[in-house]
Chains A and B, each alone.
Chain A
Amino acid sequence: MSQLLTREEICVPENEVYHRTCLLTDAALTYCPGCGHGTAHRLIMEVIEEMGLQADTIGVAPVGCSVLAYDFMDIDMQQAAHGRAPAVATGIKRLYPDKFVFTYQGDGDLAAIGTGETLHACNRGENITIFFVNNGIYGMTGGQMAPTTLPGMKTATSPFGRDTESMGYPLKITELIAMLPGTYYVTRQSVHTPQNVRKAKKAIEKAIQYQKLNRGLNFVEIVSNCNSGWKMTPLESNKWMEENMFPYYPLGDIKVPKQN
């Protein structure tokens, strides 16, 4: 029998398959176990680290479960009022055109109270990147109906299911902004399986890389779970997401830059 390897022999660069990015702080994540926000944070920070952008990055946190994103991301960050992150990011980017500026927003933040700021930042073609975590619900305030809540979906304010007749339809804001000439790259991803995590990371890389081109706004939607708000276990919520969210919000690129 061959000899067992020592810790030192195993921990060599060639063997490394994963390391925790140094751009995540040591603060314990405040998200519910199983929630997609944490994975989304990690991917964005990994990419910023790998691209060596820490000193050039200014992030904008929303109001929503990820309001404390600045506690976890080791970069300069501003906390914006509910829905106003795209306007805040516009102010930063216009004055620091060489910095990498991004917002991180939930669906209530981006597609309800901040719809105006979102559409117009996209329409002006602001050279910023928006990370949009769509969990179809207001997670932070305790699971009320969001603009993205699916028809029939039960929430604290649609306890009998979203009735489209009186409550309207889920807003496909990502498709909407993809139609605007001001957006450059628009994609929809998820982070609930290793395969999807890898794809999402690629998309995040592009959305960050493209900002350097100054061609317009780059937009990454991440369809995610809110196991607490949906009142499911993390596993159930992922299954429910695949069966119900993805048909309405299909994954994949929605707008890709023209080859030139």
Chain B
Amino acid sequence: MKDIRLMKGNEAFAEGIIRAGCDGYFGYPITPQSEVLEYLSTTNPKERTGMVVLQAESEIASIHMVYGGAAAGKRVVTSSSSPGISLMQEGISFMAGTELPCLLLNVVRGGPGLGTIQPSQSDYFQAVKGGGHGDYKMIVLAPASVQEMYDFAKLGFDLAFKHRIQVMILSDGAIGQMMEKVELDDQMPRLTDAEIVKRYPWATTGKTPDRKRNIITSLDLNPVKQEIINQNLQKKFKHIEETEVRFEKIQCDDAEYLFVAYGSSARICQKAVLLGRAQGIKVGLLRPITLFPFPTEELARLAEQVHGMQVIEMSAGQMVEDVRLAVNGRVPVAHYGRLGGIIPAPDEVLHVLEQNFITSKTEKKYEPAAY
């Protein structure tokens, strides 16, 4: 029988990492993602799988604990929300430089600064363009449901170890906090130490006589070598762009207008597509699932088909830049964003699309709900 449960997004992620054979979680509480550490603290993963859970003294410590575990070949995770993720950038950059696999969850809240605890998508640039110092990218997955919060735990680990890269799940307060049903898989076994030695020959597991010592470092003071290291990193990112793009298309086949949105905004746009179709507007939705690598080619293809693209983000306009780069002027691309933790409504975003591309600006007036 299928194991189906009603869960919060954050809890689904926590259950997801346990079942995906996670070895260790290190984290620090912050709203709206504290349920991850709370769930891990109450559901006894130590007894279930031997997984280690530790509350660190800060997000800085969390990410460097992750670094230590990852460098020793373990499947390690941390999660936080925007201010905490900012603190982690040092460690993430070091993991980029050492090509260490790990899974990171950002349940985004509005900023800048302490901002708000309400959902937002204003950390897109930070997640997708690097975030910390140096030329690097992470794979960024954008869940739009509680089920995906669960599924992306395993997918994230797989991608992280396949490419020796950091995978960030870029969620938001709405997806993290909302409850939906989730279908759970069977427990995957954790790798044994012997399996780790075999699978990850680069890992610092203790130098045995049969091999040279393993060193995990991002330092090389020789500029010629450092350039080669960087060129190899770029090659890897390019390969990921060629092979790992994921997206979902909803009612795109005959679409004349297109919403482009990820995460919570995509859920709202999905509803807006239904509303629009009921009114006879041929509207579809392109939902990027990977934000890096970005579905650039698919958007370029759709630019040949639709009359306009309406980007919806809970930010002042971040992903829209990547959409415009993909479309390269072939069709108009409009941005609409709500800020500060406000989630736009389906009729609101449909109205914006209509205003921008279909009806004349004066015809219809939309009265947004009072917040």
Interface residues of A (CB under 8 A from B): 54-58, 60-61, 67-68, 70, 73-81, 84, 87-92, 94-96, 99, 116-117, 120
Contact = CB atoms under 8 A, between A and B. Distances in A.
B193 to A, nearest CB: 7
A96 B74 CA distance: 10
B339 interface: no
Interface of B: 23-24, 26, 52, 54, 56-58, 60-62, 64-72, 74, 76, 90-91, 94, 98, 193, 204-209, 213-219
A74 B207 CA distance: 8
Contacts, number: 131
Given A79-B98, A91-B76, A116-B57, 6 more contacts: A74-B213, A75-B206, A87-B65, A91-B72, A116-B60, A120-B57
B76 to A, nearest CB: 7
Nearest to A90: B65
Contacts of A87: 56, 60-62, 64-65, 67-68
A55 B215 contact: no
B24 A79 contact: no
Contacts of A57: 206-207
A96 B193 contact: yes
State the majority secondary structure of interface residues on B: mixed
Contact of A78 (B24, B57, B217): B217
Given A55-B206, A78-B217, A90 B91 contact: no
A95 B24 contact: yes
16 contacts: A56-B206, A75-B207, A75-B213, A76-B215, A77-B204, A77-B216, A78-B217, A80-B94, A81-B91, A84-B91, A88-B71, A89-B68, A95-B23, A95-B24, A116-B57, A117-B57
B206 A58 contact: yes
B81 to A, nearest CB: 20
Given A70-B217, A79-B215, A79-B216, A91 B204 contact: no
A98 to B, nearest CB: 9
A172 B250 CA distance: 63
A81 B90 contact: yes
Given A88-B64, A89-B68, A90-B65, A99 B54 contact: no
Contacts of A92: 68-69, 71-72, 204
Contacts of B60: 84, 87, 116-117
Interface centre among A60, A73, A92 (most CB of B within 10 A): A92
Given A88-B68, A95-B74, A120-B57, A78 B204 contact: yes
Given A58-B72, A116-B57, A91 B26 contact: yes
B205 A76 contact: yes
